Amino acid sequence: MKRRKLLHAIAVHALLLLSVAVVAAPVVFAFIFSTQTPAEIFRYPPKFTLGSALFENYRVVWNQYHLGLYLKNSLFISVAVTVGKTIVSFLAALALVYFRFPLKSWVFTFILLTLMMPTEIMIVALFELVTDLGWVNSYAALIVPFLASATGTFLFRQQFLQIPESLVDAARIDGAGPLRFAWSILLPMSMNVVAAMAVIQFVYMWNQYLWPLVVIREGERQVIQVGLRMLTSGQDATNWGLVMAGAIVALLPALLVFLLLQEQFSRGFALAEEK
């Protein structure tokens, strides 16, 4: 019996290690080949160790292919949307939970229904709207449409409802107005939701591809994901070392945010599911 248990544990670990390796393999190979020259990459058999173009490849994609600039742009819009959406959702949830006002259930339904409207579905009409606003090629087109969300509002609403109501009663009796209550009690008590929102929204914006592809027509303001596309379709024969270096540059920031806040990431998902 003990022997069988041991064998079982060994088998489980072996399978898990194998799965972990398979999951990691594409990125590990991407990194290895991101350090190689075209000659090294086309060698047979392939070279499975670091090549001689590590600094060269990353320098070229950063400068010549402007990934440094695109990275900055992506960082800017991701941070702007994350901060903006957190504030906008927080305020909306504050109104929904701590105020009595008429038509509340209608307001709630109004917000709820937007869950069924992903940007991709209205991309043609949204593009015409943004063109009419004169926002083509601007950061505004990448930021403003994403500043409100049903998911964010629900995350905060859910959190607020779990905070004992006695707190708000006490605050009111002490003469604290709603904004003061929100700032000095509600916000500090909702930091876990703020963190969860931050990771989910940052990664979501960082990974945007279709909308920037459509709405940003010049290089200056392009985001990193579309910059990758230019790398693959750009020049004569594809220099895979450069493309892989680009992929590594593009994946690092989101992966870093994820690893630093991965507990919040999972918890944020769990919260989002409750909505």
Site for other proteins in 28-57 (CB under 8 A): 29-30, 33, 41-42, 44-46
Q: Which residues, 196 to 215, sit near other proteins by CB under 8 A?
A: 203, 206-207, 209-210, 213-214
Which positions ≥6 away from 133 have C-beta within 8 Å?
140
Q: Binding-site residue total for other proteins (CB under 8 A)?
A: 94
Of residues 235 through 264, those in contact with other proteins by CB under 8 A are 240, 243-244, 246-247, 250-251, 254-255, 257-259, 262
89, 186 contact by CB (below 8 A) = no
How distant, in Å, are the alpha carbons of 28, 37, 119, 187, 209 from that of 204?
Answer: 23, 33, 13, 23, 10
Q: Is 193 a residue that touches other proteins (CB under 8 A)? A: no
List the interface residues with other proteins, window 73-112 (CB under 8 A).
Answer: 88-89, 91-92, 94-101, 107, 110-111
A 10 A CB-CB count for 254 gives 19
Among the residue ranges 53-61, 63-71, 190-198, 265-273, the one whose residues contact other proteins (CB under 8 A): 265-273
Q: Token pair of 95, please?
A: 């109104």
How far is the C-alpha of 271 from the C-alpha of 275, rounded, in Å? 7
Among positions 144, 185, 187, 189, the unique one binding other proteins when judged by CB under 8 A: 144
